[in-house]
Amino acid sequence: MKTITFSINGEQKQFSVAPDEMLIDLLRKNGYKGIKWGCGEGSCGACTVIINGNTAYSCITYAFLADGKDVWSIEGLGTRKFPHPIQEALVSEGAVQCGYCIPGIVLSAKAMLDKVSVPDDDTIKEYMDGNLCRCTGYEKIYTALQKVVAKNAEEVSNEC
Amino acid sequence: MKIVDFVKPETIDEVFSHLNQLGPNAVIIAGGTSFQFVTGETEKTAIDITSLDLKGIKVNADSFCVGALTKISEIQSFSNDGWVLSKVAKRLSTQQIRNMSTLGGNIAQVFPWSDFPTVLLAINAKINTVSSEGIKTYDAVDFFKQQPSQILNNKALITKICIPKVSGSSGFGYHKEVRTSGAFSTLTVAACVSCKNNKITDIKLATSAAIGFPTRLTAIENALKGQNADISLITEIITPLVHDIRCKGKEGASDEYAAHLAKTIIIDVLNEAISEVK
């Protein structure tokens, strides 16, 4: 075991890692259970985390690669009382069914909106193409994200 | 493969020191996305090279210099006159993989998900490597003559890739045929065509997947050089030549279907490249 240090949800922490340990396993055993185990081969997006502002599949990321990085999991975004605007939009649009994919979807959407606050439809599809949802057929998720984008666009135009 | 230890060198010299010490027990890791496909229980020490200063895209007068550790997503979002790699990056797997994978990793060994070797062949990129013996520059056509891992041989690192600007009298075409957006390619075709007075003066056409290891289609290139840049004439010239190409159907497709696809896509890609010529 070796010790690595990285920031998780804004808090600097030390972790003891095995060389072949994946980031998902390290984080889940340390309490970040919002990160879901799905395909285990970097396809479905249930295990998505944000590393240095970009989404990554934690199921195929060796934990030691997180050393020195800034990592965000779903636990770092909003609370039950004060949900993140993306979470709020997903709920109000009825875009959540079983919910297993939702932490990954919220994080992918957040990473996208942090980079492009008013993405066009193609950009939304590009940024969200690594998250599968087997319940909703994507339409409601997409509508919820467009709602957040519309709100951002309104804020941008008010600033101007 | 089982990772039994990891080290994180800060300089290229430190990387070589680890490689010398560990020999075949070392494995270099940058994005790490291909490791999940490496089976077996061979024990390796991972050399994490993500701290090396090999990132970013530098704009030169007639080329771009891409650091080997540049992420595919940076290639996707970069924009500049003559830059053609965004459309390739955009089609590679999913956003998470594009955020994790590096250009160096995509070409250090040709895997079924390596989209860039075909494109680098078509635009005649140059690949720079460094080893304890010094710096070497390879034309893409030499670098991809064999598995690049045979050149690198756990003793050399790719440092940068020089990408020529494609603009003015040259155009670029690219197509990656897939069953689903995140799937591996069933057929990839890339072409760079230069024209003068509506005549083809230079052409580089490369393919991979159904047609096998990334390669230039020199017979078609030679047949088209000097010809009018007219797509019906091009179709007429290349049809018998495409028949000679051996295609292997992937993902449930028959060889016959792959051959039909190859002909159609090669024509489409040449058309796209020619239509970009100003």
- Provide the phi-psi class of B263: left if phi over 0, else alpha when psi is between -120 and 50, else beta: alpha
CA B37 to chain CA centroid, nearest Å: 19
Percent of chain B with pLDDT over 70: 100
Domains (ranges, CATH) in chain B? 2-48 (3.30.43), 57-164 (3.30.465.10), 170-276 (3.30.390.50)
Quickly count: other Cβ atoms within 10 Å of residue B72's Cβ: 26
The verdict on a CB contact (< 8 Å) between B2 and A20 is: yes
Query: Which pLDDT score is estimated for B212?
Result: 82
Residue B251 clears pLDDT 80, i.e. is over it = no
Residue B242 clears pLDDT 90, i.e. is over it = no
Using the Cβ of A41 and the Cβ atoms of chain B, whether some distance falls under 8 Å is answered with: yes
Q: Which one of B1, B78, B95, B98 would you mutate to disrupt binding with A, by most A Cβ within 10 Å of its Cβ?
A: B95
Give the 3-state secondary structure of residue B275: helix
Q: What is the DSSP letter of B187?
A: E
For residues B144 and B120, the answer to whether their CB atoms sit within 8 Å is yes
Provide the residue ranges of all domains of chain A, joining segments of one domain with +. 2-76, 85-159
For residues A97 and A31, the answer to whether their CB atoms sit within 8 Å is no
- Look at the alpha carbons of A95, A96, A98, A102 in this order and tell me if their dihedral is positive or negative: positive
C-alpha–C-alpha distance, residues B12 and B157, integer Å: 9
Using the Cβ of A16 and the Cβ atoms of chain B, whether some distance falls under 8 Å is answered with: no
Using the Cβ of A15 and the Cβ atoms of chain B, whether some distance falls under 8 Å is answered with: no
Using the Cβ of B13 and the Cβ atoms of chain A, whether some distance falls under 8 Å is answered with: no
Q: Whole-prediction pTM value?
A: 0.95
pLDDT tier at B39 (50, 70, 90 boundaries)? confident
Tell the residue number behind the tokens 């494995």, with chain if given: B27
* Structural domain A85-159, CATH architecture: Orthogonal Bundle (1.10)
For residues B83 and B165, the answer to whether their CB atoms sit within 8 Å is yes
C-alpha–C-alpha distance, residues A64 and A62, integer Å: 6
Residue B214 clears pLDDT 90, i.e. is over it = yes
Chain A residues near residue B182 by CB distance under 8 angstroms: 43, 129-130
Of these ranges, B33-37, B65-69, B249-253, the one predicted with the greatest mean pLDDT is B65-69
What are the start-end ranges of the H helices in A23-138?
23-29, 85-92, 102-115, 121-127
pLDDT tier at B246 (50, 70, 90 boundaries)? confident
CATH of domain A2-76: 3.10.20.30
| B250 vs B112, higher pLDDT | B112
The verdict on a CB contact (< 8 Å) between B4 and A56 is: no
Q: Which two tokens stand for residue B271?
A: 């058309």
The verdict on a CB contact (< 8 Å) between B33 and A127 is: no
**Structure ipTM:** 0.97
Q: Which one of B22, B76, B94 would you mutate to disrupt binding with A, by most A Cβ within 10 Å of its Cβ?
A: B94
Residue B38 clears pLDDT 80, i.e. is over it = yes
Query: Which pLDDT score is estimated for A50?
Result: 98
Weakly modelled stretches of chain A, pLDDT under 50: none
pLDDT tier at B244 (50, 70, 90 boundaries)? confident
Cβ pairs A/B, distance under 8 A = 73
Mean pLDDT of B4-9: 97
Q: Which residue of A19, A57, A128 is in closest CB contact with B46? A: A19
